A = this chain, B = another copy of it.
Amino acid sequence: MTDYDPEKFYQGLVKHKLIYPVGVKGAFGRGAVFEDVLDRLNRLIDREASAEGAEFMHFPPIIDRKVLERCDFMDSFPHLVGTVFSFFGKDAKALEVSSRIHQGQPWGDMLAMTDVVLAPAACYPVYPCMTGTLPKDGRVVTLTGWAFRHEPSDEPTRMQSFRVRELIRFGTPAMCLEWRDAWHKRGLELVQSLGLAASSDVAADPFFGRGGKMLANGQIAQKLKFELLVPVISATEPTAVCSFNYHTDHFGKPFEIRSADGEIAHSACLGFGMERCTMALFKTHGFDTEQWPKAVRERLWP
């Protein structure tokens, strides 16, 4: 496939029942074959994570609002967050909500903030679980979770809700940096072993507003974040399918995590964008998995 027309790629995914359109952007359904490939990729990563002795955890798509507040998420990414609002009223107010909906009028002002928000990244629920002192060699946790980003888009790789397979390392600064760099290499090899034309680059998070550019430049200068890039909807602007992040003490400090030496623990994480990796496979190898290269099939259908 040499053409990189996002609309045509989207229509191809729909035509092959790999995704099902819904009434809002970036929230489409996934078909049976799409899910099967995504699962198989996840199990391939399972094998790597198990070999490393990572602890498996699993969390719902919502997290404690205080987690977001304690790690200053709204300072940097207020535009991306999704918070959960519910109705707290009695009968009369409930009737008004119904009546407004039936009349097509706004009803958001009838609701109030709850104690939960959508997880902005799959790893966020893990940090408060780590409060305390780590074992001597630190810890590695792995999970697959739903992340939410309020960025409705027609581009299929930019979703409001998507799964990320993460590994998270806790320990001393040296442990975290060494781990992040080793996984950077290992992740690139893994993605390339699936026949994807992946390259790697230093990267920055999508910080908000006028101050955001400066924060992004700082992150790049310190080489805190690397991404693996694969052409999915554009040859010239490839899509980030995996990222490798060194957090320094960004989570260790607010959640009071200490390494065995008594210092504030550092952390690092890596995340495979599961839908993006799956789309990269369909873009690269075509919509019919039976026709995928033998080497790729052997990796995913072992």
- Tell whether A198 is near chain B: CB-to-CB under 8 Å: no
Determine the chain B residues whose CB is within 8 A of the CB of A55 once the complex forms.
32
Residue interface mask A42-61, B partner, CB < 8 A = 1? 00000000000001111111
Q: Mark A63-87, 1 if CB is under 8 A from B, else 0.
A: 1111101001011001111111111
* B contact residues around A67 at 8 Å (CB): 23
Residue on B nearest A75 in the bound complex, by CB: B98
A82 contact set on B, CB distance < 8 A:
62, 84-86, 114, 116
Residues of B within 8 A of A4 (CB): none
- Name A60's contact: one of B74, B81, B162 (CB within 8 Å): B162
8 additional A-B residue pairs with CB within 8 Å, beyond A31-B56, A78-B94: A20-B129, A22-B64, A23-B64, A23-B128, A62-B82, A62-B118, A72-B101, A74-B107
User: What are 11 pairs between A and B in contact, CB < 8 Å?
Assistant: A22-B64, A22-B125, A23-B67, A24-B116, A27-B60, A29-B59, A29-B129, A32-B56, A78-B97, A84-B118, A106-B113
